[in-house]
Amino acid sequence: MAENVRIDKWLWAVRVYKTRNMAAEACRSGKVRINDQPVKPSRTVTPGDRVKVTVNPQFTRTLKVREILSNRVSAKLVPDFAEDLTPQEEYDKLKVYNALLWERRDRGIGRPTKKQRRDIDRLKNL
């Protein structure tokens, strides 16, 4: 395993973000905290660190670093490197948030009109 790994690389490796660039941007915008301190993408992680990641305004994931790694691993191996400490209330809030954003359209009624499309986009940007 690696000795020193940047937080953006570790978040990408344990599949919190799809790309390393997305992880680095989240660090720069203040959405990632290690031990309740905002971090830059170049901050190194150590085993035992608590990482809080704000995914959207309603949901914050809390992870504990078990081991550090520099290469992306399969989803089945993520629990070996990151322990999920996120409380169940956060997952409940996420479930409610996603249910509110869902737009139901009947099958076979065609494409949405321009007004309907604007309404759908407005819902997604809440």
Most confident by average pLDDT, 80-84, 114-118, 122-126? 80-84
Distance CA 77, CA 50 (A): 19
Q: pLDDT band for position 126 (50/70/90)?
A: low
Examine the pLDDT at 49 and tell me if it is beyond 70.
yes
CB atoms within 10 A of CB 69: 21
Q: Which residues contact 111 (CB under 8 A, 6 or more apart)?
A: none
pLDDT digits (tens, 9 = 90+) for 69-100: 989 999 999 999 999 999 999 999 888 877 77
Distance CA 104, CA 30 (A): 34
Token pair belonging to 96 = 């409610």
Domains in the chain, please, with CATH?
A: 1-86 (3.10.290.10), 87-126 (no CATH)
The alpha carbon torsion through 90, 34, 72, 41 (nearest 10 deg) reads 120
CB 62 within 8 A of CB 52: yes
The pTM for the full model equals 0.76
Query: What pLDDT was estimated at residue 103?
Result: 65
pLDDT digits (tens, 9 = 90+) for 2-18: 678 999 999 999 999 99
Percent of the chain with pLDDT over 90: 64
Distance CA 125, CA 43 (A): 31
Examine the pLDDT at 38 and tell me if it is beyond 80.
yes
Query: What pLDDT was estimated at residue 15?
Result: 95
